[in-house]
Structure 1
Amino acid sequence: MGIFSLFNKKGGKKEDHSTEKSSSKKTRSQSGNTVITGFQNSEVFSNSVIAQRHVARATERKIDAIEFEMSRDIVKTRVPVRNKPDTAANTQQGLSADTQPLNVHADVPAFASTMPMTMPADYLLGQNTEIPKAALAYSESVPVLEEAAILFASGQTEVAEQMLDAAVHHQQLGLATEIGWQMLFDLYRITNNQYKFESLSLDYANKFETSPPLWPEDQNDEQQEKVAGNVATPSIIFPNKLDNGIVKVLAKMREASTKTDTLRLDFSRVKEVDPVGCGLLLRSLKNLRKTRHDLMLVGAQDLAEKIRAILQVGRRDETEAPWLLLLEILQLLHFQNAFEEASIDYCITFEVSPPSFEAPKMNVTSAFPELLNADDDLPSDRFMMPAVVESGVDPLIKDIAEKAAHQSMLIIDCSKLKRVEFSASAELLSGLAPIVSKPGKSIRFEEVNYLVMMLFNAMGLKNIASISLRKH
C-alpha cells in the first residue's frame, strides 16, 4: 500500500506540475498575443498614414503634371489641314490646282473633321438661312469657309484668319465670295483689329468697286469704355464640374490675363468639385493675386459652399487643396469671420498653425449671375444670347426652353453673340431639336454674324431653325 500511495503522490505531484506549466504557457501566450495584436494595430495605423501620404503626393503630382501640360505648346500636336481628294470636282467648278481651298497652309493646324453631325429625320425640319440659296449652296461646296469657321469656333483664331485672308485674295470662291469677305470682316470686328479691318476695306473697295463695310461706331465707344474701365471685363465661365477638365478654361484665363488687368470669373454653373480641380483653380487664383489682377467674381459664394460640403473636420483627404481653395475664396470675398472659422477647422484637421487672414491687395467685387444676364428690356418673344457660348450649355438650353414654352416662334437675338465653341454648337443642336420638334414650335436666330452662321450651317442647325444674318 505504501508503494502505491507513494506512486499516487508522485503521480499527483506530476499532474499538478503539468497543470502549472500549462497555465504558465497560456498566460505567456495570451501576453504575447496582446503584444502582437498591439504591434499589428500600430503597423496598420502606420500603413494607413503612409498610404494617405502616398495618395496626397500622387494627387499633387497629378496637379503638377496638368499644370506642366498647360504651359507647353500644344499646337504642335494638332493635326495639319488635310488635302481632300476632290481636285477634279473643284476643277469642274472652275478652280485650278493652284487654288485648292484646303491647301493654303499645309503646315497649319486645323480641326480634324468638319463633317456635320446627323440627327433623326423627325428633327430635321428643312428650314434655311436668309441668304441667297445659290450662294449658300455654293458656300457649302467651298470647304475652306467651313474649315475657317470651325477653326475659329475651336479657338484657333490666327489660323482661321490666315485661311480666310488667303481664300479671299487668292482663290476663286464663286458665288460664296461675298460670304468669305464678310467672314473675315467679322473676324476683325470680333478681335477688335481696326487696322486690318480698314486695310481689308480698301481691298474690298478696289475689287468690287463699291463701298466697303464700315467699322462700327459702337466698337470705338466700347474701346473707350474699356480704357476708362466702364465696360464688362473678359468673362471666364467655368463648367459644371470643377475637375481636371477645367484645364482649357484656365488656359483661356491665363491668356486673357496677359491682355487685361481685369477679369470676370463666373462660377455660377459649377455643380460639383473634386480635389484635382480645386488644386488647379487654387494655383491660378494665387497667380492672379501675385499679378494683382482686379477680379469680378460671379457665384463664388456658392462655390465656397460646394467646397465646404465635401470637407469634414478631422478627416484628412488625399490633398489639402479643397481646404486651401476654400480659404482663398473667403479671403477674396472679404469674409473674414467665415475665413477664421474655416481656418480653425483646417488647423484641427491637419494639425498645423491656422493661417492668418490677408485681405486682397487688388480690387475684388462680386456679382449675381441673374443680374448680369437679365434681359428684361427685350420683347417677350426674344431671347438674348451671350457674347460667347461654350461647352456645358445645359443651363442655356433650359432658359431657351422656358422662353419658348410661351410662344410659337422664339426669336433668339444674336446681336451680342461673337463666338460659339465648336463642341457647344453640337450641344445646341441636340438641345434645341426636341424644342422645335413639338407641334407649332419654331426658333429663329437673328443678327447672326457670318462666322457663326457658317458654323451653324456646317453643324446642321440650319435644319432645325431659321437663321437671319446681321445687317451690314
Structure 2
Amino acid sequence: MGIFDRFKRKTGQPGGAFEDPPDTRLRAGEPSRMDSDAERARLREIARATAAKIDAIESAMANDIFNTPEPAWGSGPRRPRTTFQQESASQQATLPMLEVATTELLADDELPDAPVQPQTAPVVEESAILYANGQLDAAEAMLHESLGDTGLQDRSVWWMLFDLYQATGRQAAFDNIAIDYASRFETSPPAWNPIAAGGPAPERAYAGVAPTEVLDGVLDAHVAPQLARLMERAQPGAVLRLELGRIVEVTPEGCALLAKALGELHKRGTELVVAGAAELALLARHSTIIGRREASQAPWLLLLALLQLLNREKDFEETAMDFCVTYEVSPPSFEAPGKVATASRGPVSAERFLLPPLLDGDIGKLLDALDAYATQAPVVLLDCSRLARVEYGAASAMHARLRTLAASGKKIELRDVNHLVAALFKLLGYAGVAKLFPHKY
C-alpha cells in the first residue's frame, strides 16, 4: 500500500469514479448541475488526474529515498585547517572588498571596553580579587568550576583562565581547556603566548618609556636606517617596542632586512614588545608560493621569524616544510621566542609607558615616573602587554593617580590588559577615568 493509497479512488466502483453526490437543488424547482452527464465526466477526469499526481509523488519520493547517489571520493570531511591558515584564508577572502583593516572599520580604538556582564559579575569579580591577592589556586578553582555553567554562554571566564595559565607558565593546562574552548564555541583554539615570558624577575623588570620604532607603508630597503637605530638601542637591560601593524605591502628587500634584524635581536636576548606581528605575518604569507623556486626566499624567512616570535610552533613547522619542499633545503627548527611580548595593533605613538610584570607593594616611584611621562605625552598610553598581576592595594594607588591626571584633562588608555587585571580595574572604577583595552583571543 502506497503512502497516499488511502486518498486514492475506490477501485471497486465502476469506471473508477467517486460516489455520486446526493441530489441537491440550488434553488427550489431547478435541476442540480451534478445530475448532468457532462458534470460527471468532468469529475471523472479530475479524479483521474489527482490519482496520477499522487502516483507520481510516491514514485519520486521512493526514488529519492532509495536511489540517492553516494558522495564522490574525497568529498567528505577534511582535516581542519590551522589557526594561521584560517586567518590567511579569511583575509584573502576579504581583501578585494576591504581596503583598510577591520579594526579601523570598526573604530576599535575609539570604543571603550564593554562592562562586565551582570550575570557573570560575581565569579569574574571574586576570581579577579583572589588573583590580585596572590590566591592563584583559589582563583583557578573558581574559574574552572564556572566553565560548566557561566562559561557555557560567556567567554570572559575562559579568557581569564587562559591568562592565569599563561601568567603562571602552565602550558599543559592551557592546552587542555583550549581544546574544550574551541569545541564549545566552534572556533580556533587560542595560541599559547605566555605573559612576561623569559624576562627578568618582576622586581628587576624595566618600567617606563620604551624606545619605539614604527614601520609603516611599504616594507622595502628604506627601513634600513630605522632597523639600524633599533639595533643601536638594543642595549643590555633595555626593552624595545616595535610597531609592525601599519605595514601595508612587503618587498623581498624589506623582508630580508627585517628578518635579519629579528634574528639578531633574538640572539642577543633583547626584550621586545612587538605590535602587529600577526598582521604582518599574513602579508608575508601572501608573498610566498609553494614550488616557485625562482622567487626570493626573503618573504619565507620573514614569515618563519614572525611565526616564531608569535610562538606558533605548529604553523611554523608546517610553513618550514613548505619552505623545504620549495627550495630543497633542510627545514629550519623552531626556537621559543624568549623575551618577547606581543601586542595588538593600536594608535601609533612614539612613546608608551611600559608597565612591569608585577605591581605590588609600594609603587610610589613608578607613579612619579608616570607623572613625568604624562607631562610630555598628549595621550597617556600605558602598555600592559607584560603586566601579569596587580596587587589590590597597588591597583587602588594607581587608580587614585590616574584619577588626578584625568581631572587635569589628560586622556588615558590602558592597552593590552590581560583579562584578570582588566576585571580588577573595572571593579575599582578605572573605566571612569581611562579607556581599557584587554588583549584579544
TM-score after normalising by structure 2:
0.40
More helix by share: 1
TM-score after normalising by structure 1:
0.38
